[in-house]
Chains A and B, each alone.
Chain A
Amino acid sequence: MVHGMNYFQLATDPRDDQYGRLSAAVLGALREAVRYRLDRGETKASIAERIGCDRSQLSRALNGRVGNLTLRTISDILWAVEHEPEDFKAHPYEEISSNYVCRAPATIKANAAPANVTASAMPAGTVVVRTLEIA
């Protein structure tokens, strides 16, 4: 069932979107690895000392507040918390599918009247897609 309805979508570059997914995955893995050691009594200061930087530099790296997080830095952080990175893989786009469907909640299905939302109601710079597939 398809109704006329607007989404909110930020205008972004697919190249930057992919970078965002990669950096989120890498930073997520780093934070989890560091958290593992912190939960076992280590401190950020001791981990930073092992890497050869100070605590604030380590925190900035883990929060993505560095302009260029190098492979060397990523590896050094993992080394300092005794974690081994595993199986970084990349796949051709054509071999994997992108299946994004914006699914509305069951309440929408139960009250399936068309939404009366106009594009002019959306903020400038918003990408408006005219249809919403309702599961």
Chain B
Amino acid sequence: MSRGLDELLRAGLIFPVKVDLGPRRMPHRILYVSKDFGEWATTLSSDRRSKALQSERDELNTIFGEFIAGKKLANVLLDVNPPAGEGIKKLKTTSFRLWGWAHASQTLVLVLGARKADLASKAIREGSMGRRARDLRNAMGVREVASGTWYELFPARD
């Protein structure tokens, strides 16, 4: 039997993400992160690097806001293969790779994140991260997820 979002929330395994979307923007999608993902995210630096427009923390916060506001996230949303056919999704940002699954249409749960540079320097293949995300999801007791491509599951508002 697959655990639902309400069970995961009650168990403290996931948390809804809140972002100040700014004036005139309304939430269009729902985003959750696991406790471990949250711990990783709060280790990100809030200092802006010299060759970047934003700090790591602001970059992640911006992508959260863009996602929740229903923006079209060109070139950053991917279906993961491997593991093939298991519904793991990947979000690509300038500095990060984030993995999770669509629990329902417009509802994303992120369980794993890594700096792109760390993956490269440690020669970690992104496929292995996809499998780890699948294993984390299984460990939470989630067996059933929404199926479809990013663009079917997360149609943009504009």
Chain A interfacial positions (CB closer than 8 Å to B): 5-12, 14, 16-21, 23-24, 28, 31-32, 35, 60, 63-67, 69, 91, 93, 96-105, 107-108, 110-111, 113, 115-118, 121-127, 129, 132
Contact = CB atoms under 8 A, between A and B. Distances in A.
Contact of A67 (B4, B19, B46, B53): B53
Interface in B4-39: 4-6, 9-10, 12, 15-27, 30, 33, 35, 38-39
A97 B23 contact: yes
Contacts of B18: 7-9, 100, 102, 127, 129
A16 B46 CA distance: 10
Contact of A8 (B10, B15, B23): B15
B154 to A, nearest CB: 14
Given A96-B23, A98-B22, A104-B16, A12 B6 contact: no
Contact of B30 (A24, A28, A64, A105): A105
B85 to A, nearest CB: 24
Contact of A28 (B6, B23, B74): B74
B15 A104 contact: no
A110 B4 CA distance: 12
Interface residues of B, number: 52
Interface stretch (B65-73, B119-127, B129-137): B65-73
A125 B23 contact: no
A39 to B, nearest CB: 12
22 contacts: A7-B17, A7-B18, A9-B17, A10-B57, A12-B61, A17-B22, A21-B22, A24-B63, A24-B65, A32-B74, A66-B51, A67-B49, A67-B51, A98-B22, A98-B25, A100-B20, A105-B30, A108-B6, A115-B10, A116-B10, A117-B15, A123-B35
A111 B6 contact: yes
A118 B9 CA distance: 11
Contact of A100 (B19, B42, B74): B19
Given A8-B33, A10-B60, A23 B19 contact: no
B74 A23 contact: no
A9 B59 CA distance: 14
Contacts of A65: 51-52, 94
B153 interface: no
